[in-house]
Chain A
Amino acid sequence: MREINFLLAGVGGQGTILASDVLAQVGVRVGYEAKKAEVHGMAQRGGSVVSHVRWGEKVYSPLTAKGEVDILVAFEKLEALRTVEFLRPGGTVLVNDQAIIPITVTSGGAEYPDDERIRAVLAQVTDDVRWVDGIAIAGELGNARVANVVLLGALSALLDVPESIWLEVIEQRVPARTVDLNRQAFHRGRQAVTR
């Protein structure tokens, strides 16, 4: 089995931790030794959040070094830029087409990078950049908070793991009354990306 290193980057409150829990659990279900490390600062909401997930026959370090991430899943566009140096040159970036404006832009003098700049920076590291409009898809389903599962669905399209395993793990992890919604979110995300 191929070793895979994932980095999930987002903003506190976006559900990156649930997504990384699911990803690690899926790794275990398909027979990998998986490790999942969360790197988050002080605030429950609003700060940058990063999770490292590693799948391998034998995994030592819970953290992946810069240049060794195979798939970067960015739940927010600015966070994609902040973490892209972790990506292996030529690796895959999955970007949620969502901007969450940090306070340093709203009430400070900083400037949020425009899409052109974001695309140009990512292109310096890899040609394989997949955009998913997670918020729009989740909004169509009636709840913007399932964007994280839309992203998981999109990620699943890039991996050789039976869909049933993903769905079983997601169902175990989300509240019972939201299972249908999360299934739909996963399917829509899976369709949004082609390999």
Chain B
Amino acid sequence: MKTLLSANEAVARGAWEAGVVVASAYPGTPSTEILESFARYPGVYAEWATNEKVAMDVAIGAAYAGRRALTCMKHVGLNVAADALFYASMTGLEAGLVIVSADDPEMHSSQNEQDNRRYAKFARLPCLEPSDSQEAKELVGVALEISERFDTPVLLRLTTRLSHTDTLVELGERVERPPTVEKYPRNPAKYVMVPGNARKRHPIIEERVRRLAEFAETFPYNRIEWGDRSLGIVTCGVATQYAREVFPQASVLRLGMTYPLPRRLVQDFAAQVERLIVLEELDPFLEEEIRLLGVEVYSGPQGYQGGKSIFPACGELDPGVVREAAIGAGLLPPAAAPPVLQPETGELPARPPVLCPGCPHRPVFVELRRSKLPIQGDIGCYTLGLLPPLSSIHSCGCMGAGIGVAHGADVAGDGERHVAVIGDSTFFHTGMPALLNVVYNRGKTVTVIMDNRTTAMTGHQDNPATGRTLQGQETVQIEFEPLVRALGVEEVHVVDAYDIQAVREALQACLAHDGPSVLITRRECALLPEVRRQWLPLRVELEKCNGCWACIRTGCPALFKSQEVYEKTGRQKVEIDPLLCTGCEVCAQLCPTEAILFRAQIEAEVSDA
């Protein structure tokens, strides 16, 4: 029986079938669903770690202890975990370890589109790339076998298009595997990477790459599909699908292992086709490796100009992009493109992602905007505070960056007060060391911890502040106030994020303090199920509205300009969409004419009726 699964779900299934016992990850789009899905299988341990580096250490520990292990992260998560990646490559392990990197071509929800195949070469690891969910499932088991046979972690690279596409998968059963060691290994020469031991390990991992390249020659997921030999395409990952779709006649060498490359297989394929091209997303990773083998790669009529040939290095591929590039390089006739009618639409209003109606970050940004100070952002829903009309985020680089950046600007002595905003989960991830650094070095940064009691951006995962683990067990619930006091912050304020006056006063107190301070703005994400049950749409009494738009300037999507106008100014009045409003009362607090009814007023109306 075949089932539709995303590649993320298929990886989870594959890990379960192949006897993975321990999995640890930090949520990050597009990888998050792998662990959410894996955690639901019987007989496994799965956890949300506080960050990707911790997650990888946990998986490595399990593999050292002789149990098959999995860790998953988005591409930039591997930067956080890179230190662990490199030592694990040096030590090898006792049981299979798969590291899943879900890359994000097109940056659907990321700050860059780094190509993590480069980590495989950098850290001397094999890299496997599936082309659909079925292969994703199979390659997890294959990766674990390679891991154990060659004593190496294995990188399994997905991309957004695989992670978030459902294709048919044949399900299998779980094969239980006994631990590969009887007790935890005491083997310092292999596992204690002091220089004397590490120097002996380095030649071993270089030799391992050579053996893997030999293995790749007959690896069944590296295979040629012969067609017309005038064009040969080397491809991998989801680009394999585009190769088949756009060039149905061509010969195709599909690489399921993209590092190290099978030298003879590539050279033989190249020798038997008239023209060889490489079709891959993002970096010219395969192209560079193939050129290093001395194989000629066709680059189009202009010849090789360096960099990537024919297909774009930026953004996601799709059949349209591939076809257009192929026509441009003379590989396909112009008539190969389907007729597209591009109607004259005129300017269409953009629909950017926005902070949701009822978002507890909104009132905090209303007050931060009022302060006119530079605000350093971080990674989470609150990054959307950058958009107009809130326009209150002035940098956002990576997880945990904001506090350090704010401190750097502070000690640079530009005379302004500096503020960092960070979410609850991101604070645990990498914010804590940065805040300790502010305290230790006598900085004056104001840190706003926007505590919405969940990891909202990636879809409401638990974290150390929620009191629940990934597998639903009750656990400690970390409170921020004692935590930041323990980090040495003396000026700490905790307010309800929905209470605008309280946010304003606490922010003023932080700014008046001549030292580090923390403002914790606490309120559950409006989309959490228990909060949804309390939604109560508010209403505008139109006769009282004077069209000042103080409410509109919060950027709440539930507010819209009415057809009715305020006669004195001719400005449109404001109405509330009852399908969207949650009843957070932020707009009601800002309304100078008391035209927006509070929940208590609405409830009173209901009970009167």
Contacts and interface: CB of A to CB of B under 8 A. Distances in A.
A60 B252 CA distance: 14
B412 interface: no
Given A48-B351, A107-B555, A113 B165 contact: no
B557 to A, nearest CB: 5
A36 B108 contact: no
Contacts of A125: 341, 343
A6 B28 CA distance: 28
B553 interface: yes
Contacts of B347: 110-111
A84 interface: yes
A124 B341 contact: yes
A46 B356 contact: yes
Nearest to A32: B168
Given A103-B352, A144-B579, A61 B241 contact: yes
A28 B168 contact: yes
B196 interface: no
Given A42-B457, A88-B338, A110 B349 contact: yes
Given A65-B318, A85-B342, A113-B346, A33 B323 contact: no
Interface residues of B, number: 59
Contacts of A106: 552, 557, 559-561
A interface secondary structure, majority: mixed
A168 to B, nearest CB: 15
Given A61-B242, A63-B319, A85-B340, A107 B353 contact: no
Contact of A35 (B165, B342, B389, B557): B165
Contacts of A12: 353
Nearest to B559: A106
B476 interface: no
B450 interface: no
B346 A63 contact: no
A162 interface: no
A133 interface: no
B167 A39 contact: no
Nearest to A90: B341
A37 B346 contact: no
Nearest to A65: B320
B475 interface: no
Contact of B349 (A24, A40, A63, A102): A102
B166 A102 contact: no
A111 to B, nearest CB: 7
A25 interface: yes
A113 B348 contact: yes
A64 interface: yes
B238 interface: yes
B429 interface: no
Nearest to A117: B346
A46 B342 contact: no
A141 interface: no
Interface in A13-48: 21, 24-25, 28, 33-48
25 contacts: A28-B168, A33-B167, A34-B168, A35-B167, A36-B165, A38-B164, A43-B355, A43-B356, A45-B354, A46-B557, A47-B354, A48-B351, A62-B165, A64-B319, A66-B320, A66-B340, A67-B341, A78-B351, A81-B348, A85-B343, A102-B352, A106-B557, A107-B553, A107-B555, A110-B350
Interface of A: 11-12, 21, 24-25, 28, 33-48, 60-68, 78-79, 81-82, 84-85, 87-89, 101-108, 110-113, 117, 121-122, 124-125, 144
Given A44-B456, A48-B351, A66-B320, 20 more contacts: A11-B351, A33-B168, A34-B4, A39-B164, A41-B353, A42-B457, A44-B459, A45-B356, A45-B527, A63-B318, A67-B341, A79-B351, A85-B341, A87-B341, A103-B351, A104-B351, A110-B347, A113-B345, A122-B343, A144-B579
